A and B are shown apart, each in its own frame.
Chain A
Amino acid sequence: MGRRKKPARQAGPVSSRTLADLSTGERCILDRLDLPEDVARRLMELGFLPGNEIVPGRRAPGGGPRVFRVDGSEIALRDDTAARLYVRRDPESDLIVLA
């Protein structure tokens, strides 16, 4: 029942990538939240602020919500919420790859 583990999608401009597209451990920087005001606010309070680094972690068994490491804690989100959080690459992770 492994919900498709999306291979890093190359198409499109970088900012069209969302949290839901990332594979486990792929660091990224949050760009914007495309969510209703109250949900966005709650997420921002939990650390999902534009400019913050997010690391996707484990997914619940059977393809449930996924745990994200953000701002020192671990927060679980469903895929449909994660798909509304647009991200860009973490420049630091590029540096690591180059090094």
Chain B
Amino acid sequence: MSSCHGDVPRTGLLPNPSILPPAAHDRPIIVAIVGPPNSGKSTLFNRLTGLRQKVANFPGVTVEHRMGKAKLKEQHEVFLVDLPGVYSLSPRAEDEKVTHDVLKGERPDFPKPDAVILILDSTNLGRNLVLAAPILSLQLPTLVLLNMADDLKQRGGKVDVAALAAELNCPVALISAAKGEGIDRIQQFLIGTAVRLNAPPARIELPVLQDVPKCRQWAAKLGVRASYQAPAPPLWTRRLDAVFLHPVAGPLIFLAVVIGVFQSIFSWAQPLMNGLQQAVLWSGHWLTTVLPDSPWRSLLVDGVWSGVGSVVVFLPQILLLFLFIGILEDSGYLARAALIADRTMAKIGLQGKSFIPLLSAYACAVPAIMATRVIENKRDRTATIMIAPLMTCSARLPVYTLVIAAFVPNIPIIHGVFSLPAATMLGLYVLGFLAAVVIARLLKSTVLKSSRSSFVLEMPPYRWPTFQSLSLRLVDRAKVFLRRAGTVILAVAIVLWVLAHLPLHDGKTPPLEQSFAGMVGKTIEPAIQPLGFNWKIGIGLITSLAAREVIVGTLGTIYGIEGDEQSKGLQQAVHQDLSAAGAVALLVFFAFAMQCFSTLAVVKRETGGWKWPIFQFSYMLALAYSGSWIAFHITNFFLK
């Protein structure tokens, strides 16, 4: 079931069989795209393939390689692989190791590429050219791209491309991947590779690769021979940093950004969600009227429609969250946020680099856990993985929204700055965050204790997020979410409907209480009664082990089966089964519990065994149970 997240990496490094050509060919032609972090590899990859691919303006975010078929004018099949960014080919962090091993042909599960596209940031060619030495030493056909040509020109820099090509003995092109300038030269190279026209570059004299100063001198000499003129410093980046890293304004802006994102998610998405909800309800009624009365109608309307529909409603909210995170990442602000957060993160034993995976975990823990590979220190990395699922991921939003809308009155607080529902939601985010802080501290002072590690982070220049990158991201997310709704949630809805309709009593469906689903719920009721949950909520807790948002679909199905309550909507229906204290307990339970197969699968893969995922599941369940027990009793105390 782990494949329900689009992000879950396939086992090993083998590309998706569906994009590789049939085995009729002797072997597909593969061209690797290599470059330092933040040189525009992913943007170029998107340009060349049109395939969805995460692009981010943060060094080292492409930790998983992506494959894609190049869009070429002629009938040639060339596959591009986007490798993690590297500064050299001596591997230290795990993402660098992937690049190193693939290029050297040292991965048993991945063929050695036929050619390499080396993409460099032309605005800092001196340092970037260092990477040319190890790449040229591979003796593969190579195309060197000097990216961000527009930026270079605008800031008054220059480079003699022909002279550089002569020095390197391989083709060189000045391009702008973001603007799409110079792409035809790359396509020529790809076609040349496809027909095996491109020869490996003639050997040139290269420095000793292990000797960093020598390599840098070599690059500097190349720069001089290619009449490279470095551009003026990025003035706007300095000006913006003066504001964003200001001792007073900086942290205030940081807080305002975080609060602004959450507030707008709820106020902007609400009208859209209401619209969708009405559409689901209305179409459900319409189906009931047009279809003849039969068990199939019940399955379709009560099982599938109300189950899947109640989750699809949350699409606008989730996309809005991903849009904001996308803007922060692509603009370069996220690296500044990591800088601001480092001091605080150091206090809990982590570091600023943990901040980026943790922020992505607010969208989804699966890509977040993969993004922890940028953390070189293994213990810091494991600790970050352990706490990532405590961040409020988008799958919790449907649950939170449902319960909050049902129980928290919409009244303004703090003179209308906040509404009470928005404040409750923010409180839940804070709750998850605080739990993460405590757990991180505990882990880092016991089993994952390590000496203070170093923090080295490059600050990329600020850039405008491109429409292309943001829209690709959202389309990708929408697909993942809808695929989940169409697979896991659909399957759970159908199974649940069946379990709720069997065993038959005298050929008729039993009351929910006497159905199989009801029996399971009744069985676990004693365990969850202390938390204020009844057996119906219990059914939801069990189904939501697959994925958190499934509980919403489950309740949709349960109440759909119970007949006329569907017309009142899920919110009122939930009201009958939960007391206010039970609602608070349910929110706390979902804030802490580890209900996501996909996350457990990726944790197992990234930590290399069952030890950590089992530990993670257990501690989070214990936390959830005790937390919601306390929440239930405190709320009861105050409400009485």
Contact = CB atoms under 8 A, between A and B. Distances in A.
Interface residues of B, number: 36
Contacts of B87: 42, 45-46
Contacts, number: 108
Interface in A4-60: 35, 38-39, 41-47, 49-51, 57-60
Interface string B250-279: 110000000000000000000000000000
A81 B127 contact: no
Given A47-B127, A49-B213, A72-B127, A64 B352 contact: yes
A61 B246 contact: yes
A66 to B, nearest CB: 9
Contact of A44 (B213, B247, B248, B340): B213
A79 to B, nearest CB: 10
User: DSSP class of A's interface residues: helix, strand, loop or mixed?
Assistant: mixed
A45 B212 contact: yes
B127 A61 contact: no
B92 A65 contact: no
B452 interface: yes
A48 to B, nearest CB: 9
Nearest to B127: A71
Interface string B548-575: 0000000000000000000000000000
A47 B125 CA distance: 12
Nearest to B459: A74
Contact of A60 (B123, B127, B342): B342
Contact of B340 (A64, A78, A81): A64
Interface string A56-87: 01111111110101011111111011000000
Contacts of B92: 38, 41-42
Contacts of A44: 212-213, 216
Interface in B339-359: 339-340, 342-343, 346, 352
Contacts of A75: 456-459
Interface string B216-249: 1000000000000010010001000110011110
A2 interface: yes
Contact of A80 (B126, B230, B246, B452): B452
Contact of B339 (A2, A67, A72, A73): A67
Interface of A: 2, 35, 38-39, 41-47, 49-51, 57-65, 67, 69, 71-78, 80-81
Given A42-B87, A49-B216, 19 more contacts: A41-B212, A42-B456, A43-B456, A44-B216, A47-B216, A49-B213, A51-B213, A60-B343, A62-B247, A62-B340, A62-B343, A64-B339, A65-B343, A65-B457, A67-B241, A67-B245, A69-B233, A72-B230, A76-B456
28 contacts: A42-B456, A44-B212, A45-B88, A45-B130, A46-B127, A46-B458, A51-B213, A58-B241, A58-B242, A59-B245, A60-B245, A60-B342, A61-B340, A62-B247, A62-B343, A63-B343, A64-B352, A65-B342, A65-B457, A67-B339, A69-B233, A75-B456, A76-B339, A76-B342, A76-B455, A76-B457, A76-B458, A80-B454
